[in-house]
Amino acid sequence: MSRASKFFHLSRRDKAILLEATLSLALARIVMLIAPFRWIARRMGEQTSPMKTTDPGERSEQILHLAKILQAVARNVPWKTNCLVQSIAAATMLRRRKMEGAVYFGARTDESGKFEAHAWVCCGEILVTGDHDEEMYTELAMFRFPKQKKIGNT
């Protein structure tokens, strides 16, 4: 079955999520190309010490469905969608749904001594992006979203 045929057989809801994922990945890629990493990191959420986010409970199925579609789109778009692009897109899509989660940044050295960085998104125990290899990285920073609104004039 061709991609176009598969698309037309999707539900209206899944078509909307697929289009949203495509746009989110495209915008995330553009941001990654033009903005410095420190600017991107500040907008990911509130930086906190490493910890797990709240369990999404009844929204788990919705998160898993969104993750599945986002990962499928990321594999099939004509531009590069590395872990950072996917994490930015996932965080954007989850924020739109007012879901709590976190973007993690980690690093490691591979067998040849080469430095590698990685980003992944979790909602509670659910890994939204990251290919289940986050255990291989030393966690450097975590940004919770949605960012807590400041109280007062500060």
Contacts of 93 by beta carbon, 8 Å cutoff, 6+ apart: 20, 21, 24, 66, 70
Domain definitions of the chain by residue range? 11-145
Mean pLDDT in residue range 98-124: 90
pLDDT at 50: 60
Contacts of 69 by beta carbon, 8 Å cutoff, 6+ apart: 14, 17, 18, 21
pLDDT, tens digit, for every residue of 44-91?
Answer: 877 776 666 667 778 899 999 999 999 999 999 999 999 999 999 999
pTM of the predicted model over 0.85: no
Q: Provide the pLDDT confidence category of residue 24 given band limits of 50, 70 and 90.
A: very high
pLDDT at 65: 93
What average pLDDT is seen over the chain? 85
